[in-house]
Protein backbone atom coordinates (compact mmCIF):
# COMPACT_ATOMS: atom_id res chain seq x y z
CA UNK A 1 0.00 0.00 0.00
CA UNK A 2 1.24 3.49 -0.90
CA UNK A 3 0.06 6.86 0.41
CA UNK A 4 0.04 9.91 -1.85
CA UNK A 5 -0.12 13.03 0.29
CA UNK A 6 -0.84 16.42 -1.25
CA UNK A 7 -1.41 19.85 0.22
CA UNK A 8 -5.03 19.20 1.21
CA UNK A 9 -5.70 15.55 0.32
CA UNK A 10 -4.36 12.09 1.00
CA UNK A 11 -4.97 8.92 -1.04
CA UNK A 12 -4.05 5.26 -0.64
CA UNK A 13 -3.29 3.12 -3.70
CA UNK A 14 -2.02 -0.42 -4.18
CA UNK A 15 1.04 0.04 -6.41
CA UNK A 16 3.90 2.47 -6.95
CA UNK A 17 2.77 2.87 -10.58
CA UNK A 18 -0.66 3.97 -9.38
CA UNK A 19 0.91 6.33 -6.82
CA UNK A 20 3.13 8.00 -9.43
CA UNK A 21 0.25 8.27 -11.92
CA UNK A 22 -1.95 9.89 -9.26
CA UNK A 23 0.85 12.25 -8.17
CA UNK A 24 1.29 13.39 -11.78
CA UNK A 25 -2.46 14.00 -12.13
CA UNK A 26 -2.53 16.00 -8.86
CA UNK A 27 -0.01 18.42 -10.42
CA UNK A 28 1.34 19.64 -7.08
CA UNK A 29 4.18 18.92 -4.67
CA UNK A 30 3.37 15.56 -3.06
CA UNK A 31 4.85 12.92 -0.81
CA UNK A 32 4.60 9.24 -1.74
CA UNK A 33 5.08 6.94 1.24
CA UNK A 34 5.63 3.25 0.67
CA UNK A 35 6.49 0.37 2.98
CA UNK A 36 10.25 0.91 2.58
CA UNK A 37 10.75 4.47 1.32
CA UNK A 38 9.40 7.98 0.88
CA UNK A 39 9.65 10.13 -2.27
CA UNK A 40 8.75 13.79 -2.48
CA UNK A 41 8.45 16.27 -5.30
CA UNK A 42 6.30 17.45 -8.15
CA UNK A 43 5.90 14.51 -10.50
CA UNK A 44 5.39 14.72 -14.22
CA UNK A 45 8.39 16.14 -16.03
CA UNK A 46 8.61 13.67 -18.89
CA UNK A 47 10.70 15.73 -21.30
CA UNK A 48 12.84 18.84 -21.40
CA UNK A 49 13.09 20.69 -24.72
CA UNK A 50 15.13 23.84 -25.25
CA UNK A 51 15.67 24.12 -21.48
CA UNK A 52 11.93 24.13 -20.69
CA UNK A 53 9.55 21.62 -19.10
CA UNK A 54 6.30 20.82 -20.95
CA UNK A 55 4.48 23.47 -18.90
CA UNK A 56 6.98 26.18 -19.96
CA UNK A 57 8.88 26.36 -16.66
CA UNK A 58 12.67 26.62 -17.06
CA UNK A 59 14.49 23.39 -16.21
CA UNK A 60 17.78 24.41 -14.67
CA UNK A 61 18.70 21.41 -12.52
CA UNK A 62 22.30 20.39 -13.09
CA UNK A 63 24.01 17.49 -11.34
CA UNK A 64 27.42 19.18 -11.57
CA UNK A 65 26.14 22.20 -9.64
CA UNK A 66 24.96 19.91 -6.82
CA UNK A 67 28.47 18.67 -5.95
CA UNK A 68 29.78 20.35 -2.82
CA UNK A 69 32.79 22.70 -2.77
CA UNK A 70 35.15 20.15 -1.19
CA UNK A 71 34.31 17.43 -3.70
CA UNK A 72 34.76 19.86 -6.63
CA UNK A 73 38.24 20.77 -5.37
CA UNK A 74 39.20 17.10 -5.12
CA UNK A 75 38.37 16.40 -8.76
Beta bridge partners of residue 4, listed in sequence order: 11, 32
- pLDDT higher than threshold 90 for residue 6: yes
Q: Enumerate the β-bridge partners of residue 30.
A: 41
Confidence class for position 23, pLDDT limits 50, 70, 90: very high
43-74 per-position pLDDT tens digit:
876 778 888 877 787 877 766 666 655 555 55
This prediction has a pTM of: 0.61
| Predicted local distance difference test score (pLDDT) of residue 66 | 60
Instruction: Compare 57 and 75 and report the one with higher pLDDT.
Output: 57
Confidence (pLDDT) at 70: 53
Amino acid sequence: MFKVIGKNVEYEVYSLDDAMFLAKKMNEFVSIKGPDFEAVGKFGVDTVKDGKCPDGVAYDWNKASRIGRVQKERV
